[in-house]
C-alpha cells in the first residue's frame, strides 16, 4: 500500500513538472510575439506623412520623440539612417521622405549638370533650400554620401553663414574636419586676421576640432592674451591634438623661445600663414601645385612677387591662377604694364601683336589701350584683348575687367558698331536691386495685384481689386492675355481668391503645355527632384529673364507641388514692372 502511494505521488510530481514547462514555454512565446509587434511599429514616416505632431520647435532642434537620427550615437545600430541639414522641410512643404522616392543616380546626375552652370542667385537660393532641408537620403544613397553632397555644395558655393549654421545643428558627421578647416582657411585667406578672429569666436563652443582650436590659440596670441593661449595650448597637448610645428611657432610668438624653424610648411593654410609671419624675409614662389587657399592668401597679403619680368612661364602660371580666381586680375595687368616695348613697337602694335606669343601679345595690346585717347580705338583694343584671352582659354580672367571698362564708358556712349557686342559683354550684378516697382493696372501681371506677393500684403481689399482690375481689362477687346497673366491668376486662385467667371483662365491655359514628364514626377511623389529640375530650368537666369511661357509652367508646377515660398520668389522676380 505504501509502495502504491509512493508511485502515485511520483506520477503526480512528474505531471506537475510537465505542466509547468508547458506554461513556461507559452509565456516565452507570448513575450516574443509582443516584442515583434512593438518592433514592427517603429518605422520611418510614410512618404505622405507630415511632421505636424513632431514639428521642429526651431531649426536647431528636432523633437526627441521622432524616430529620426540626427547625431551619432555610439549605442545606436550601424544600420540606422542619420539625417543632416539646416532647414525644417515643412517650412517649404517638403517632408523627411522628400528624396526617398528618387533614385540616387538621378540626384547625382542632376547635381553634376548643375555644377556646369553658373547659377543665378534665385537658382542657388532654391537649390540651397532643397539640399539643406533635413531629410532621408535618396534611394540607393548612404547618409554619408548625402551629407558629403550637402557640405561640398556649401563649400563650392562659399555659403559661409549656412556652413556655420550647419556646424551648429549637426554636431557629428563625416567630413566635419573638412568643413571646419574651410571656415578657418576662409578667414586666414582674406589676410585680415583681426576680422577673422572676431568672426571665428562666434562659432558654437560645442564644436570641437583640433584645427579650429589651433586657430583660436593663435587668435589669443594675436590679441595679446598670452596666458589664455598658453593654457589652451597645454590642454591641446594633453589631448595629443597639437604637433611639433605648431608648438614651435606658438612658443616663438609667445616669446618662450627665440628661434623658430625657417622651413615653409605647406601642409595646410594655418601652417603656411604661421610660416609667413615668423620667417624673416619670407619669400615664396607659388607653382602649379600650390594649393588654392594658399594662392588666395598670397594674393590678399600682397605676397605675390615676380622677380623676373621676362620669366614667361611664371607669368603663365600667374595668369592661370587668376583665371581660376586665385589671384587678383589687377596683379596680371600690373605685370603687363611692366613689360618694356620700344616706341616703334607700340606705334605699330596692331600689326605686331599677332607675331607675339601668349602674355607678350596681351601686354602689348593692353599698353596700347592705355595710351589710346580715341574712344573707338580704346574699344577696338579692348575687344582684341578679349580674343587674345579666349585664344589661350583664360577669358575668365578678362571678362570682369572688360565688363567694368565698358560700364565706365557707358553703353549710351558706345558707337552703334560696338553696341551689340558691348551689351553682351557687360556682366549684370544680380545682387543689385532689380529696381523700384511701378504698378500698371492696364496690364494684369504688372497691376497692384502683385502687391500681395511683393509686399506680403494680406489686405482684405485684394478680392475687390481682383474683381475691379479684371473687369476693367476685360473691357479692352484688344487686350492680349499673356502667360505671365495666367501665372498670376492661377497663383491667386491657389491662394484662395475667387477669379471672376468672366475670365476663362482654363481656356487660356490650353495654349500652354507643361511637359508631361515633369507632371509625372509629382505623381511619383518626387517633388524634391522636380524642384531640382526647376533649378535646372531657371539655371543661370533670374526668373525675370525667362520667357513668359517658361515662367508660366515653372509657376504652374510649383503651385501643383504647393511649394509656395519658392513660387513667390519666382513671381516677385518675373512679374512686376521695375524702373
What mean pLDDT do residues 134-138 have? Answer: 96
CA distance readout (Å), 364 to 231, 396, 509, 578: 58, 20, 59, 43
What mean pLDDT do residues 396-415 have? Answer: 88
| Cα-to-chain-centroid distance, residue 84 | 15
What mean pLDDT do residues 259-274 have? Answer: 94
d(CA 199, CA 202): 6
Greatest mean pLDDT range, 78-92, 197-211, 462-476: 462-476
pLDDT, tens only, 432-489: 345 678 888 899 999 999 988 988 766 668 899 999 999 999 888 889 989 999 999 9
What mean pLDDT do residues 389-406 have? Answer: 90
pLDDT of residue 575: 92
Own/partner contacts of 405-409, CB < 8 Å, gap of 24 or more, are 406/382, 409/375, 409/378, 409/379
Cell triple for 358: 601668349
Residue identified by cell 575668365 is: 396
Please give the residue that has the higher pLDDT: either 428 or 159: 159
| Cα-to-chain-centroid distance, residue 131 | 9
Q: Is the dihedral of CA 293, 294, 297, 298 positive or negative?
A: negative
Percent of the chain with pLDDT over 90: 47
Question: Is residue 178 over pLDDT 50?
Answer: yes
Give the confidence band of 231 by pLDDT, cuts at 50, 70, 90: very high
Tell me which of 56-70, 248-262, 289-303 is least confident: 56-70
Residue identified by cell 514592427 is: 40
Tell me which of 242-246, 355-359, 459-463 is least confident: 459-463
Percent of the chain with pLDDT over 70: 83
CA distance readout (Å), 298 to 272, 273, 318: 10, 9, 12
Please give the residue that has the higher pLDDT: either 424 or 344: 344
Q: Where are the domains of the chain?
A: 89-276, 309-425, 444-574
What mean pLDDT do residues 63-77 have? Answer: 41
State the chain's mean pLDDT as an integer. 82
Please give the residue that has the higher pLDDT: either 247 or 38: 247
Give the confidence band of 204 by pLDDT, cuts at 50, 70, 90: low
pLDDT, tens only, 489-547: 999 999 999 999 888 878 888 888 888 888 899 999 999 999 999 999 999 999 999 99
What mean pLDDT do residues 138-150 have? Answer: 95
Please give the residue that has the higher pLDDT: either 11 or 268: 268
Amino acid at each position: 500500500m505504501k509502495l502504491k502511494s509512493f508511485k502515485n505521488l511520483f506520477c503526480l510530481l512528474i505531471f506537475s513538472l510537465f505542466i509547468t514547462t508547458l506554461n513556461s514555454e507559452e509565456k516565452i512565446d507570448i513575450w516574443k510575439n509582443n516584442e515583434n509587434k512593438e518592433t514592427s511599429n517603429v518605422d520611418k514616416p510614410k512618404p505622405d506623412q507630415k511632421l505636424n505632431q513632431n514639428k521642429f520647435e526651431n531649426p536647431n532642434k528636432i523633437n526627441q520623440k521622432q524616430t529620426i537620427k540626427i547625431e551619432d550615437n555610439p549605442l545606436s545600430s550601424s544600420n540606422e539612417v542619420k539625417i543632416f541639414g539646416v532647414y525644417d522641410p515643412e517650412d517649404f512643404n517638403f517632408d523627411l521622405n522628400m528624396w526617398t522616392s528618387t533614385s540616387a543616380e538621378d540626384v547625382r546626375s542632376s547635381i553634376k549638370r548643375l555644377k556646369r552652370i553658373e547659377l543665378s542667385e534665385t537658382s542657388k537660393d532654391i537649390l540651397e533650400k532643397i539640399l539643406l532641408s533635413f531629410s532621408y537620403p535618396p534611394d540607393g544613397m548612404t547618409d554619408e554620401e548625402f551629407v558629403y553632397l550637402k557640405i561640398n555644395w556649401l563649400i563650392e558655393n562659399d555659403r559661409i553663414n549656412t556652413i556655420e549654421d550647419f556646424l551648429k545643428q549637426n554636431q557629428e558627421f563625416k567630413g566635419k574636419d573638412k568643413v571646419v578647416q574651410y571656415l578657418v582657411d576662409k578667414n586666414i585667406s582674406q589676410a585680415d586676421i583681426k576680422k577673422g578672429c572676431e568672426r571665428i569666436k562666434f562659432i558654437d563652443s560645442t564644436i570641437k576640432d583640433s584645427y579650429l582650436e589651433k586657430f583660436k590659440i593663435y587668435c589669443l596670441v594675436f590679441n595679446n592674451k598670452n596666458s589664455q593661449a598658453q593654457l589652451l595650448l597645454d590642454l591641446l597637448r594633453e589631448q595629443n591634438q597639437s604637433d611639433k610645428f605648431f608648438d614651435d611657432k606658438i612658443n616663438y610668438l609667445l616669446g618662450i623661445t627665440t628661434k623658430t624653424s625657417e622651413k615653409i610648411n605647406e601642409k595646410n593654410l594655418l601652417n603656411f600663414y604661421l610660416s609667413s609671419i615668423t620667417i624673416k624675409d619670407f619669400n615664396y614662389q607659388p607653382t602649379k601645385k600650390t594649393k588654392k587657399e594658399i594662392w588666395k592668401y598670397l594674393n590678399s597679403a600682397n605676397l605675390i612677387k615676380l622677380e623676373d619680368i621676362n620669366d614667361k612661364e611664371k607669368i603663365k602660371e600667374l595668369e592661370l591662377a587668376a583665371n581660376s580666381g586665385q589671384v587678383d586680375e589687377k596683379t596680371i595687368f600690373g605685370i603687363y604694364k611692366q613689360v618694356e616695348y620700344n616706341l616703334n613697337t607700340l606705334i605699330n602694335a596692331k600689326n605686331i601683336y599677332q607675331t607675339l606669343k601668349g602674355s607678350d601679345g596681351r601686354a602689348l595690346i593692353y599698353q596700347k589701350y592705355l595710351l589710346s585717347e580715341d574712344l573707338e580705338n580704346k574699344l577696338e583694343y579692348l575687344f582684341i584683348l578679349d580674343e587674345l584671352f579666349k585664344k589661350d582659354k583664360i577669358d575668365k580672367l578678362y571678362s570682369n575687367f572688360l565688363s567694368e571698362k565698358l560700364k565706365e564708358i557707358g553703353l549710351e556712349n558706345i558707337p552703334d558698331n560696338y553696341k551689340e557686342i558691348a551689351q553682351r559683354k557687360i556682366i549684370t550684378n544680380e545682387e543689385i536691386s532689380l529696381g523700384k516697382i511701378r504698378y500698371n493696372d492696364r496690364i494684369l501681371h504688372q497691376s497692384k495685384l502683385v502687391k500681395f506677393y511683393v509686399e506680403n500684403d494680406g489686405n482684405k481689399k485684394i478680392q475687390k481689386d481682383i474683381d475691379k482690375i479684371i473687369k476693367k481689362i476685360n473691357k479692352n477687346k484688344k487686350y492680349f492675355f499673356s502667360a505671365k497673366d495666367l501665372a498670376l491668376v492661377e497663383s491667386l486662385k491657389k491662394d484662395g481668391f475667387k477669379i471672376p467667371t468672366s475670365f476663362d483662365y482654363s481656356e487660356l491655359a490650353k495654349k500652354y503645355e507643361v511637359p508631361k514628364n515633369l507632371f509625372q514626377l509629382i505623381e511619383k511623389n518626387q517633388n524634391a527632384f522636380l524642384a531640382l529640375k526647376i533649378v535646372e530650368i531657371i539655371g543661370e537666369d533670374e526668373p525675370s529673364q525667362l520667357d513668359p511661357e517658361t515662367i508660366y509652367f515653372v509657376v504652374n508646377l510649383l503651385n501643383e507641388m504647393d511649394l509656395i515660398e519658392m513660387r513667390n520668389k519666382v513671381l516677385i522676380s518675373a512679374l512686376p514692372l521695375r524702373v
